[in-house]
Amino acid sequence: MKVLVTGSNGMLGIDLCALLELEGHTVIRTDLNIREGLAIPQWLPLDITDTDAVTAIIDTHKPDFVVHGAAATDVDGCERNPDMAYRVNGLGTWNIAAVCGARDIPLVYISTDFVFDGTKTVPYTEFDKTNPISHYGGSKLAGEKFVSELCHKRFIVRTAWLYGINGNSFPAKILELAKTRTELSVVTDEIGSPTHTLDLARTIILMIDSPLYGTYHVVNAGQCSRYELAKITLELAGVKSMKINTMCASQYSSPTKRPAYSVLRRYMLELQNRDNLPTWQAALQEFINLR
């Protein structure tokens, strides 16, 4: 299959494109910028907010399938500049969805746990009500709505707390800080579903050629706080030189309100008997081994 990927030079995009090629697919990589220091195979520049450019690239390459991973992912940047967030995550996704819908090209849109408000105390299913409390979450939800309205053949894939070897993720930052610091305070009252980009990419690839369109939660199994994630990251990496202290989210300085509890349940995959994602601890170990 010929698969066009947006955001191909991002943390998820790099892993996804490499896996797609390993599986024998032809990949059209598209992104806004090159990432310094990374050797990325041939890719095409594409700004998803440019309607004509999106139409032209899809009509030129005629992909069998599109994975739309490009997004403005700096949550605080989106909070400070909501117009930018809605332009990239809303309008940009509208552009992709409109062309895929009109050409009947199946589309995977990567969305987020930030579409929920975090007031639940048990994991969110695909049937729970969305209610974003940040502009990042609101703009990604706008993207979901455009995809639902414009594309019949669509997968909306909500994921969370992503990390991968080609990105500046939370576990990567913890390991980096441990090189120079002896103590760090991390929040205990933010609970989520840490997810390895490789496991997400493996699940996305199963969607290619599948007719089971819909909204799916795709995260590693289990849940933890940021504090637990930091502690286990150091433990699995065998790092003993940095002590992790606890703090509350209210003590953490950020312009963005984050959901206090955004654990996702892979309910659609469970109902289909296809839920076999590894635990977050096993996935984290794989990430550490690959570093």
Ligand X SMILES: NC(=O)c1ccc[n+]([C@@H]2O[C@H](COP(=O)([O-])OP(=O)(O)OC[C@H]3O[C@@H](n4cnc5c(N)ncnc54)[C@H](OP(=O)(O)O)[C@@H]3O)[C@@H](O)[C@H]2O)c1
List interacting residues with ligand X (CB under 6 A): 6-7, 9-13, 31-33, 46-49, 69-73, 88, 92, 110, 112, 140, 159-162, 167
Q: Kindly state the smallest distance separating residue 206's Cβ from ligand X, in Å.
A: 17
HEC profile for the chain? CEEEEECCCCHHHHHHHHHHHHCCCEEEEEECCCCCCCCCCCCEECCCCCHHHHHHHHHHHCCCEEEECCCCCCHHHHHHCHHHHHHHHHHHHHHHHHHHHHHCCCEEEEEEHHHCCCCCCCCECCCCCCCCCCHHHHHHHHHHHHHHHHCCCEEEEEECCEECCCCCCHHHHHHHHCCCCCEEEEECCCEECCEEHHHHHHHHHHHCCCCCCEEEECCCECCEEHHHHHHHHHHHHCCCCCEEEEECHHHCCCCCCCCCECCECCHHHHHCCCCCCCEHHHHHHHHHHHC
Q: Which is nearer to ligand X, 57 or 178 (CB)?
A: 57
Q: Kindly state the smallest distance separating residue 10's Cβ from ligand X, in Å.
A: 2
Q: Which is nearer to ligand X, 112 or 225 (CB)?
A: 112
The alpha carbon of residue 136 and the mean position of all alpha carbons in its chain are separated, in whole angstroms, by 12
Q: Which one is catalytic: 86, 136, 261, 267?
A: 136
Q: Kindly state the smallest distance separating residue 200's Cβ from ligand X, in Å.
A: 8
Q: Which is nearer to ligand X, 71 or 183 (CB)?
A: 71
* In the complex, residue closest to ligand X by CB: 10
136 is catalytic: yes
Residue 92 in contact with residue 70, Cβ under 8 Å? yes
Residue 252 in contact with residue 190, Cβ under 8 Å? no
Q: Which is nearer to ligand X, 178 or 204 (CB)?
A: 204
Q: Kindly state the smallest distance separating residue 173's Cβ from ligand X, in Å.
A: 12
Q: Kindly state the smallest distance separating residue 16's Cβ from ligand X, in Å.
A: 9
Q: Which is nearer to ligand X, 214 or 243 (CB)?
A: 214
Token pair listed for 208? 């290619």
Q: Which is nearer to ligand X, 85 or 150 (CB)?
A: 85
Contacts of 289 (CB under 8 A, 6+ apart): none
Q: Kindly state the smallest distance separating residue 92's Cβ from ligand X, in Å.
A: 5
The alpha carbon of residue 2 and the mean position of all alpha carbons in its chain are separated, in whole angstroms, by 22
Catalytic residues: 136
